[in-house]
């Protein structure tokens, strides 16, 4: 009978080469998976912010506003700029579309790196009496173009819903 003394150096090197090859092939897929998760996470955060703003507007009896912001945390004034975050508040009566000291801040958030929002409008206003909102389509985009974009559509009744998007929405 012959005793097994372990693996040879050739067998070990061959196994390591196969593992290295598989890891090299799988790396791009893991990056794409991470980008898809980032887009999905940002989409759900935006949905949650819209629901929170709408709910606060109804319970407090005041207009609620969620606006898209750039890196300076100021509300965007045109849709040509890419938003990297959002700001939500209950309006104190000025309804100027910009947050000021008399308003009640609900939340301020920034999106993860290389994730941006493009909207058909730069803000959404929820009115408590009519339970209505400004219609808007928000596209959540991966700026690295590795993951497909997602969309949040706000209907005239103020209800946000998820929708599928095409890559042209992010260009």
Q: What is the pLDDT of residues 117-164, one digit of tens each?
A: 999 999 999 998 878 889 999 999 998 888 889 999 999 998 999 988
Interatomic CA distance for residues 26 and 30, integer angstroms: 6
Contact status, residue 115 vs residue 90, Cβ threshold 8 Å: no
pTM for this predicted structure:
0.81
Interatomic CA distance for residues 115 and 35, integer angstroms: 9
pLDDT of 95 reads: 58
Tell me the domains of the chain and their CATH numbers. Answer: 9-170 (3.55.40.10)
Interatomic CA distance for residues 159 and 155, integer angstroms: 5
Per-residue pLDDT, averaged over 52-75, amounts to 90
Band (pLDDT 50/70/90 cuts) for residue 12 is confident
């Amino acid at each position: 009978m012959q005793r097994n003394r372990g693996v040879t150096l050739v067998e070990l090197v061959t196994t390591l080469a196969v593992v290295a090859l598989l890891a090299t092939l799988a790396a791009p897929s893991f990056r794409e998976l991470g980008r898809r998760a980032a887009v999905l996470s940002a989409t759900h955060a935006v949905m949650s912010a819209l629901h929170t703003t709408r709910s606060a507007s109804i319970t407090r009896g005041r207009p609620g506003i969620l606006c898209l912001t750039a890196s300076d945390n100021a509300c965007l004034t045109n849709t040509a700029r890419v938003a990297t975050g959002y700001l939500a508040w209950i309006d104190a009566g000025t309804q100027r579309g910009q947050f000021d000291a008399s308003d009640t801040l609900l939340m301020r958030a920034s999106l993860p790196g290389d994730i941006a929002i493009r909207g058909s409008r730069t803000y959404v206003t929820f009115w408590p009496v009519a339970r209505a909102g400004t219609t808007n389509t928000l596209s959540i985009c991966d700026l690295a173009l590795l993951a497909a974009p997602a969309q949040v559509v706000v209907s005239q009744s103020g209800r946000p819903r998820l929708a599928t998007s095409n890559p042209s929405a992010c260009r």
